[in-house]
Chain A
Amino acid sequence: MIDSLYDTAGGKDIVVVALYCDFLAQQKQTTTSMLGAILKQLAVIQGIPEYMQRAFQKSKIWFDGQGLRLPDLVKIMKKAVTARPRVFICIDGLDESTPKHRRELLKSLREIIRVSPNTRLFLTGRPHVRGEIMKCFGNVVQIPISPTPDDIRSYLEKRLESDTDPDAMDDGLRADIMRVIPEKVSEM
């Protein structure tokens, strides 16, 4: 999705930043580390403005290099997104973060996009987080994702090409696979 946004929206004026939530990394993925990872991507794109350098220096001198606190991080991110004509923030697998971090993350993102009407948020997750997202943002475009029969056929073709035991395959079996699996999966 990230790469498509670059291809379709094109040009230097857009920035796409992204984050993958990971169930196995819940300990490390706190609200501040997740937002920080997004800010890091904005920072390498636009260079580090003076206010960010100052925050860093201050933390080194006074707080033993400790990272930014959430309210400061949100404040800095607001400045960073409004400095660009268009920012897409993509977050994959929201259901994989803990409910507490997710709640804080969504709330912070809401504050951030509110000050920058050109900023867009792309979220993915299992259906059970839909309620939280709707409640937080109100106006949301929803797209249910399920693979189309064509998607499944492309995938099968690819897998069959890289079959490690090609001798066990014949045309009849191949035809059956290509017919039955897309049908069955689409019915799910």
Chain B
Amino acid sequence: MSSERQRVTGDFNPFNLLTNYDNIVDFGTTVDPWWREFLPWLSQLEPQQRHQGVRTSRLNGIGNWVLETKGFRKWSGAEDGCAEQVLFCEGNPGVGKTYLR
């Protein structure tokens, strides 16, 4: 067994990577067949598919105000060991929680 299975591309967004694994033919790259067995073993769920759907139907600019809130900046900020590791966006159905850009 090789010590570590290497990544395939230079992309660092896992959603792009997993989408590429799905459409591997279109990309013309050869992927170690081992991955095809390994990834579904980790989980059968494929959140990248939903993400593609959200990406194409959301509108730019909507919900951007969240990124400007003090709470968000503190949470996402560079200070390590910040007290709040968890951010919770709550809202009723249909207010756009999923579609925050």
Contacts and interface: CB of A to CB of B under 8 A. Distances in A.
A and B, one complex? yes
Interface of A: 1-6, 8-9, 12, 15-20, 22, 25, 28-29, 32-37, 39-50, 53, 56-57, 59, 65, 67-68, 88, 92-93, 113, 117-127, 129-130, 133, 137, 139-148, 151, 154-155, 158
B21 A44 contact: yes
Contacts of B85: 113, 117, 119-121, 137, 139
Contacts of A12: 12
Contacts of A20: 47, 50-51, 54, 98
A114 B61 CA distance: 34
Contacts of A41: 14-15, 17-18, 47-48
A50 B92 contact: no
B89 A145 contact: yes
A146 to B, nearest CB: 5
A130 B17 CA distance: 33
Given A41-B18, A121-B86, A126-B90, A145 B100 contact: yes
Tell which of B47, B71, B72 has the most Cβ of chain A within 10 Å.
B47
A121 B42 contact: no
A130 B80 CA distance: 25
Interface of B: 1, 3-7, 12-15, 17-18, 21, 38-39, 41-48, 50-51, 54-55, 59, 61-63, 65-67, 69, 71-72, 74-76, 80-93, 95-98, 100-101
B45 A47 contact: no
B5 to A, nearest CB: 4
A131 B15 CA distance: 31
B90 A130 contact: yes
Nearest to B69: A143
Given A20-B51, A47-B7, A123-B88, A147 B41 contact: no
Given A20-B98, A41-B14, A117 B51 contact: no
A141 B96 contact: no
Nearest to A59: B41
Nearest to B13: A6
Given A19-B47, A133-B88, A147-B63, 6 more contacts: A20-B54, A88-B76, A123-B86, A125-B90, A140-B88, A158-B59
A22 B88 CA distance: 18
Tell which of A50, A117, A122, A129 has the most Cβ of chain B within 10 Å.
A122
A53 B5 contact: yes
B14 A17 contact: yes
A8 B12 CA distance: 14
Closest 5 CB pairs of A and B: A36-B43, A41-B14, A145-B91, A37-B45, A48-B5
